[in-house]
Structure 1
Amino acid sequence: MSTKAIDQSDINKAVWAACDTFRGVISADTYKDFILTMLFLKYISDLYKDEYNKLVAQYGENPELIRAMMSKQRFVLPEGASFWDLYEKRYEAGNGERIDKALHAIEEANGSKLKNVFQDISFNTDRLGQEKQKNDLLRHLLDDFGKDILDLSSERVGSLDIIGNAYEYLIKHFAAGSGATAGEYYTPPEVSTLLATVLEPVEGDQICDPCTGSGSLLLKCGAMVRKNSGSKKYALFGQEAIGSTWALAKMNMFLHGEDNHRIEWGDTIRNPLLKEKGGSRLIHFDVVTANPPFSLDKWGFEDASNDHFGRFRRGIPPKTKGDYAFISHMIETLKPETGRMGVVVPHGVLFRASSEGKIRQQLIEENLLDTVIGLPEKLFFGTGIPAAILVFKKQKTDNNVLFIDASREFKAGKNQNQLTPENIQKIIDTYKARESVDKYAYLASFDEIKENDFNLNIPRYVDTFEKEADIDLVAVRNERVQLKGELQTLEAEMEGYLKELGYGA
């Protein structure tokens, strides 16, 4: 194995190249789980082998002592379950079955830390074709991850970040090709950065994302605490409804070294699992943030009127649009003194009437809404529609609402637009200043919003109209006369050329 240190781009290219094994055979939305799981298995295997070799070098061949010391590591890798055990047998039949057994053994050996993480991920599946094709595909996959470039030992990697970043790189690229399903597990990093910066998580905070996805938003909040305070004294909480996506989040947390987390698998609206002991009350958090599914149909309307936690006391959202179901849930999980919240929503949430209008009005009357930030279109994978961020606070210093229209400032891409660091900084500076900015932001009073019937449509508050320049009719006439003269000259020259060529009358 190579001992040369690797950089981020090297590992990103290598893990993305490993996808070639599956391209043209199955869809990326299917094989993403195989690639991400194999990266996880390879990393923990190399890390485990690295630690084992260090102990052998220090204490000599003393199997019982070394086994006892290895049991105190961050995780346990059972005998026969490492990547290298699978790699050595890759030419034998039964690759799919062996990989599944290894993953199951790792689950069992690590208790709650990795419990059920791999239960929705099976390498021994007919989706990879009949047995011979499946075995060959998995042999190629093991070959790809066994190359020297993907030696993930600590002396080459240097820190957890490079592996966690590679994991995020893969998730982003899978999201780019997954169409409508991408929103189930991925929030663009620029949006995560914006939310984490605005919400300012600090040392000691309990931070929750009730629609965890792959966990990128929670990880960004954790990184923000470490950046601002140098402390790892915070706790991450989450819940995710889709089993395979929940597994991505658990692996993502592990690869980023975020051991102080609790992420539950289940439907947040129908069955919230982040409850205090006894189960009668929801846990309250300092920071709650999420990018919920937009206007979710079949969100749990039928049971909402009997909700045990009083989440829908302001009203029950429409049967076919669950946006305010998630907002209502998040509001009810905020701590009364420190609670602050940021949620990504479609623009319809700002102005739709009926039951949504009534809920929106009560939230504003309770002085919970702090800021509305309009984002550019084509920012999120899977949808081209523009979105907005709503910021809520339990303790506000005024009863105003700041409106920011950042919809026109972005870096245009072929398929996706992107917020640049400058775009993000402008939003943050405006948010902190909390003042009106011509054609960009407006600080609206409660009375102004009330006069607008509690409609939060951003153009009602931020006037972005650009007056067209006055037309100088005299200049236009002079230009027209000049062009007519030039045209007559060109026609005379053309006629002369035609006569020289024998086409004249």
Structure 2
Amino acid sequence: LDVIGNAYEFLIKNFASDAGRKAGEFYTPPEVSALMAEIMDMAEGEEAGDPTCGSGSLLMKCGQRVQAKYGTKKYALYGQESIGSTWALAKMNMFLHGEDNHRIEWGDTIRNPKLLDGEDALKHFDVVVANPPFSLDKWGHDTAGHDRFGRFRRGLPPRTKGDYAFILHMVETMKPRTGRMAVVVPHGVLFRGGSEGVIRRKLIEENLLDTVIGLPEKLFYGTGIPAAILILRKTKADRNVLFIDASREFKSGKNQNQLTDGNIRRIVETYHARADAPKYADLATPEEIAGNDFNLNIPRYVDTFEEEAEIDLVAVRTERLRLKAELEELETKMDGYLKELGY
């Protein structure tokens, strides 16, 4: 079955890289999924949810980690997807990979969440992962003000940018103690003001934000912009936020850049070390973040500035004089040629 499952993944992936823009809607690059699954480190008996699950590969990476680590399939995968054809893709993907314990629902997660515990409660998960659509325009702002699940009590995301709608939904579906989440976001989520700034501040003050990872550009299908991964946790070891700038380490390709195994390993090791690393990571205190007005733009924390080499002005002047003399000589020669040609 694995052979068929892998072949299916291969087809989805190739369709994703061909289909370009559209494909980002249902496919997260496998390296990014692997990185998120590794950081989430799903354990035996845990449940994972993805509110914008696409073809389901990110969820399955979380499950595969349990299989590899514990040699068991004791876990459950839950997903919701708004596009019917993509939902069918996810169901098929699960089936072909022999994922026995899964539930994939079809519907709009913000307007109509289907993964419920009873009528008025959202189902909670140990692990919540997602690569939601970037800055979705019509995400459901009209009805969000009186959301029956109270997901937007920290603030209402802007009408034309749904990023925080998905983040807040995910926060609301983390289990109280074990709950942790990883979400792919555009960088604007880290620094935009207005209601997004208010929501961001609350998430930081509630000590839910654990880590911000900056990724290289051109990793995702259909968009060249660099993205970031936010890690949030219900139970944190400290009140700090770790910033990792992994944007400059990748294998470059013509249309698509890639994270290598080495790149991923460095991110994961840095994540676990939870300490400063020169030009790569910074463990920021709540005071530092508040001092930056809750702006999470990575360069504010991780200084990647490279010292310029000292300039030897005497050498520069000597070179200039040499070039000037050479130019005068050429001009004299040129004049000679022009005279010969009768100009």
TM-score by length of 2: 0.94
Q: Which of 64, 87, 109 is the aligned partner of 1:246? A: 87
2:19 is aligned with 1:178: yes
Give per-residue Cα distances to partners, 1:353-390, cap 9 Å, x unaligned.
Answer: 11111111111111000000011111111111111100
What secondary structure does 2:14 align onto? helix
Higher helix share: 1
Q: For 1:194-205, what aligned pairs fall within 5 Å after superposition?
A: 194-205=35-46
Point out where structure 2 has 5 or more consecutive residues left out of the alignment.
Answer: none
What secondary structure does 1:177 align onto? helix
Task: Give the alignment's Cα RMSD to 1 decimal.
Answer: 2.2
* Structure 1 CA distance for aligned equivalents of residues 197 and 285 of structure 2: 18
Partner of 2:122: 282
Partner of 1:212: 53
Q: For 1:61-460, what aligned pairs fall within 5 Å after superposition?
A: 160-276=1-117, 278-460=118-300
The code of the aligned residue for 1:282 comes to: L
* Structure 1 CA distance for aligned equivalents of residues 157 and 113 of structure 2: 17
The structure showing larger relative contact order (alpha-carbon pairs under 8 Å, at least 6 residues apart) is 2
Instruction: Between 474-483 and 368-377, report the one with greater CA deviation.
Output: 474-483
Give per-residue Cα distances to partners, 1:30-80, cap 9 Å, x unaligned.
Answer: xxxxxxxxxxxxxxxxxxxxxxxxxxxxxxxxxxxxxxxxxxxxxxxxxxx
Task: Give me the identity figure in percent.
Answer: 71
**C-alpha displacement at 1:351, in angstroms?**
0.9
What secondary structure does 2:119 align onto? coil
Give per-residue Cα distances to partners, 1:318-356, cap 9 Å, x unaligned.
Answer: 111111110010001001110000000011111111111
Change (3 A) 1:363 1:482: same
What secondary structure does 2:67 align onto? helix
Structure of larger gyration radius: 1
TM-score by length of 1: 0.64
* Structure 2 CA distance for aligned equivalents of residues 179 and 493 of structure 1: 56
Give per-residue Cα distances to partners, 1:461-481, cap 9 Å, x unaligned.
Answer: 111111211111222344456
* Structure 2 CA distance for aligned equivalents of residues 169 and 439 of structure 1: 36
* Structure 1 CA distance for aligned equivalents of residues 76 and 26 of structure 2: 21
**C-alpha displacement at 1:425, in angstroms?**
1.1
* Structure 2 CA distance for aligned equivalents of residues 359 and 489 of structure 1: 68
Structure 1 runs, 4 residues or longer, greater than 3 Å off:
477-495
Equivalent pairs counted in the alignment come to 341
The code of the aligned residue for 1:201 comes to: M
Higher strand share: 2
